[in-house]
Structure 1
Amino acid sequence: MRSRLLMFVGAVSVAAAGTVMAVPAHAGVCSDLWVQRNAIYKANGYCFKTRKAINYFGNAGCLYDNAATMPMSGADKGRVLVIKKREKQLGCL
């Protein structure tokens, strides 16, 4: 009976460890991409709406409430599109 209990506890421990390890390997990449994309928005005067973005970037000096209609250079627009595509591929968005 004791050996069965120990085997059960061991199996539960292994299962729990597997759950902890279930964080996607690309989680850090998603975070980096989020920062890169939003840094472009910040540089172009975007007014952030989410608490996370406001805490990270702030809204001082912001000018535009809509990222889709915010004036940006072609290079910035292209970079945002590339970042969003990668975020979608990784399941970040």
Structure 2
Amino acid sequence: MRGRFFSISFSIALAGAATFLPASPFIAEAQAQSCGQLWYQRNAIYARAGYCFQTARARATFGENCFPPYGRLSPNQQARVNALQYQEDMRGCPR
């Protein structure tokens, strides 16, 4: 009986928690990361898309190579960048 009560209570708690989950799976993944990790992931997306970085930090991390499409992102990449930027803003990370 005790195990069944726990199972029902746990299911109810999970159902209530589901309403507070982020709308994007990218946000859920990003929530457990530091500002530095968020910065790296965001800029790695741009680097893979050939973005020409202007800052010394980004150039030191990702190199000075840029190529077409010069940072133009697909809709999925842009959604990921937006989610990472949102998390950076929520944490007060510098950009």
TM tier, smaller: 0.5 to 0.7
Residue deviations 1:47-87, cap 9 Å, x none? Answer: 000000000100224343xxxxx421111000000000000
Distance 2:67 2:36 in 1: 22
CA deviation profile, 1:34-53 (whole Å, cap 9, x unmatched): 00000000000100000000
* Aligned twin of 1:78: 79
Paired amino acid for 2:88 = E
Using the TM superposition, give the Cα deviation of residue 29 of structure 1 relative to its aligned residue in structure 2, in angstroms: 0.3
Extract unaligned runs of 5+ from structure 2.
Answer: 1-32
Higher Rg:
1
Moved over 6 A (4+): none
CA RMSD of aligned residues (A): 1.5
Aligned: 1:35 with 2:36: no
The alignment's TM-score, normalised by the length of structure 1, stands at 0.60
- SS of the counterpart of 2:65? coil
Aligned-residue identity in percent: 39
Give yes or no for the alignment of 1:54 onto 2:59: yes
Equivalent residue of 2:61, what SS? helix
State how far apart, in whole Å, the 2-side matches of 1:71 and 1:56 are: 20
The question of 1:89 aligning with 2:90 is answered yes
CA contact (8 A) 1:42 1:62 kept: no
Q: Distance in 2 between matches of 1:81 and 1:38?
A: 12
What's the secondary structure of 1:39's corresponding residue?
helix
